[in-house]
């Protein structure tokens, strides 16, 4: 099933790169959750996240001729999304309009998890410096290994390691301050 | 409050932007301002033009150092060209000044020689007058230098 889907996507990529817009729509449908989620978790603003995600896909359409394969598309999308999010995040910092608490969270697959803890984790994540936040998103949302994160963010492997370690410590401290006294799990 | 990596993963799970997202992207794609920069991939065969190959090689090598190198070469070339131009202009001025000075020196030399000749003739005339020797030289007219 997964192999069939991969094959279908390769075919869609080939057609899209020759200008077929319906094939491009299939590519968008397949990658939209990845791009939008990076934007959403980083920017914590649904409207802005969707706008940035759309811009990334528009740029993808213009750059398709330079991309070699489906895997290259995924890599390119992650890289461009990371850069766009960091740019928009910097601009947003000065004109913050609405926090995560004001905005309805987008639909996600049902997972048995504590919604309060998830909410608080996202809020704590928003308080992190931009690079630390992006490292956590790429690690825990996208499941990338440290070398891939370093490659995407132009950071040496050891810097990624130390950043991730420091970020998790910061998150733990922030969570302790927010919900001090409640103990969930130890890792 | 502590949390596990799984809980962090769960908090950061992918979220869907909604069923209309693709349509909104396609609508923006078909808008006039988006259509300006859109290019389709060329058909196979046309693909490996020399400049594309060069661009690919440069992209593989990393554009930044290549662009920085090219920029440095352009700047150094421009600076060298400016330097050569200014040096040539300076040398031309020096040459002109030298020619001018030589011309003035030649004129001064000629005037000095003429003055000496006149003085010599006058002194000779006076000397003959004083000693009572009739002058053998023609009378020199007064000249203004």
For A:136-155, CB contacts with B below 8 A are 136-137, 140-141, 143
What is chain B's mean pLDDT, rounded? 82
**A50, A121, A180 member nearest B3 (Cβ):** A121
Tokens for B20?
């209309």
Residue B132 backbone class (left: φ over 0; alpha: ψ -120 to 50; beta: rest):
left
CB pairs under 8 A between A and B: 151
Distance of alpha carbon A41 from alpha carbon A32, whole angstroms: 14
Q: With contacts defined as CB-CB under 8 Å, which chain A residues touch B29?
A: 21, 24, 57-58, 61
CATH number for region A113-187: 1.10.10.10
Taking any CB pair shorter than 8 Å as contact, residues of chain B touching chain A are 1-5, 7-18, 21-22, 24-26, 28-30, 34, 37-43, 59
Angle, helices A157-178 vs A146-153, to 10°: value is 100
Q: With contacts defined as CB-CB under 8 Å, which chain B residues touch A18?
A: 40-41, 43
* Percent of chain B predicted with pLDDT > 90: 39
Residue B42 to residue A65, Cβ atoms within 8 A: yes
pLDDT (tens digit per residue) in B107-120: 999 999 999 999 99
Q: What is the pTM of this model?
A: 0.59
Predicted pLDDT at A38: 93
Q: Distance between the two ends of chain B, CA-based, in angstroms?
A: 111
Alpha-carbon dihedral of residues A167, A171, A174, A175, nearest 10 degrees? -170
A76 to chain B, any CB pair closer than 8 A? The answer is no
Decide if A1-99 and A113-187 have a common fold: no
pLDDT (tens digit per residue) in A82-131: 999 988 888 776 555 444 444 455 555 555 567 777 888 888 888 888 88
Q: With contacts defined as CB-CB under 8 Å, which chain A residues touch B28?
A: 54, 58
A54 to chain B, any CB pair closer than 8 A? The answer is yes
Q: With contacts defined as CB-CB under 8 Å, which chain B residues touch A103?
A: none
Whether ipTM tops 0.90, in short, is no
Distance of alpha carbon B38 from alpha carbon A57, whole angstroms: 12
* Percent of chain B predicted with pLDDT > 70: 77
Predicted pLDDT at B41: 45
Which residue in chain B is spatially nearest to A105 when comparing CA positions?
Answer: B15
Distance of alpha carbon A149 from alpha carbon A131, whole angstroms: 11
Kindly report the nearest CA distance between residue A95 and chain B, in angstroms: 24
Tokens for B131?
């000693």
Predicted pLDDT at B44: 45
For A34, the enclosing helix (H) or strand (E) is helix A21-43
Q: Domain A1-99 class?
A: mainly alpha
Predicted pLDDT at A105: 55
Q: How many residues does chain B have?
A: 145
Q: DSSP string spanning A35-104? A: HHHHHHHHH--HHHHHHHHHHHHHHHHHHGGG--SHHHHHHHHHHHHHHHHHHHHHHHHHT----GGGSP
Write down the domain spans for chain A.
1-99, 113-187
Q: Which residues contact A76 (CB under 8 A, 6 or more apart)?
A: A60, A63, A67
For the CA atoms of chain A, what is the radius of gyration? 18
Per-position pLDDT tens, chain A of length 187 = 567 777 888 888 888 888 888 888 988 998 999 999 999 999 988 889 999 999 999 999 888 888 888 888 999 999 999 999 988 888 776 555 444 444 455 555 555 567 777 888 888 888 888 889 999 999 999 999 999 999 989 899 999 999 999 998 888 887 776 555 444 443 4
Predicted pLDDT at A98: 47
Predicted pLDDT at A79: 93
Predicted pLDDT at B123: 93
Tokens 């995407």 correspond to what residue? A152
Q: With contacts defined as CB-CB under 8 Å, which chain A residues touch B17?
A: 32-33, 36, 40, 49-50, 53, 106
For A105-109, B17-21, B126-130, which range has the lowest pLDDT when averaged over its residues?
A105-109
Closest C-alpha among A133, A153, A117 to residue B6: A117
Give yes or no for residue B34 having a pLDDT over 80.
no
Distance of alpha carbon A135 from alpha carbon A86, whole angstroms: 12
Residue B40 to residue A185, Cβ atoms within 8 A: no
Q: CB burial class (10 A; 0-12, 13-18, 19+) of residue B58? A: middle
Closest C-alpha among B111, B3, B4, B11 to residue A176: B3
Kindly report the nearest CA distance between residue A97 and chain B, in angstroms: 20
């Amino acid at each position: 099933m997964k192999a069939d889907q991969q094959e279908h996507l390769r075919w869609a990529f080939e057609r899209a790169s020759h200008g077929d817009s319906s094939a491009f729509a299939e590519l968008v449908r397949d990658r939209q959750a990845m791009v939008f989620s990076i934007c959403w978790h980083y920017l914590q603003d649904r409207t802005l996240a969707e706008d940035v995600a759309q811009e990334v896909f528009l740029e993808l359409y213009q750059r398709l001729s330079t991309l070699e394969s489906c895997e290259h598309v995924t890599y390119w999308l992650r890289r461009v999304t990371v850069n766009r999010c960091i740019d928009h995040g910097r601009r947003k910092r000065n004109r913050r309009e609405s926090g995560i608490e004001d905005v309805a969270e987008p639909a996600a697959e049902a997972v048995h998890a504590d919604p309060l803890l998830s909410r608080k984790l996202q809020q704590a994540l928003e308080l992190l410096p931009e690079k630390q936040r992006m490292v956590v998103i790429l690690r825990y949302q996208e499941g990338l290994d440290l070398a891939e994160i370093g490659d995407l963010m132009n950071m040496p492997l050891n810097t990624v390691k130390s950043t991730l370690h420091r970020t998790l410590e910061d998150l733990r401290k922030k969570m302790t301050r927010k919900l001090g006294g409640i103990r969930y799990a130890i890792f | 409050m502590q949390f596990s990596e799984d809980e962090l993963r769960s908090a950061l799970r992918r979220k869907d932007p909604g069923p209309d997202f693709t349509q909104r992207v396609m609508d923006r794609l078909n808008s006039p301002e988006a259509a300006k920069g859109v290019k389709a991939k060329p058909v196979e065969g046309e693909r490996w033009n020399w400049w594309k190959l060069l661009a690919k090689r440069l992209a593989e090598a990393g554009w930044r150092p290549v662009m920085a190198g090219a920029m440095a070469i352009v700047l150094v070339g421009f600076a060298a060209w400016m330097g050569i131009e200014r040096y040539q202009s300076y040398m031309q001025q020096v040459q002109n000044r030298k020619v001018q000075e030589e011309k003035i020196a030649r004129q001064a030399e000629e005037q000095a020689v003429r003055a000496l000749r006149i003085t010599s003739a006058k002194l000779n005339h006076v000397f003959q007058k004083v000693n009572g020797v009739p002058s053998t030289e023609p009378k020199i007219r007064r000249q203004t230098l």
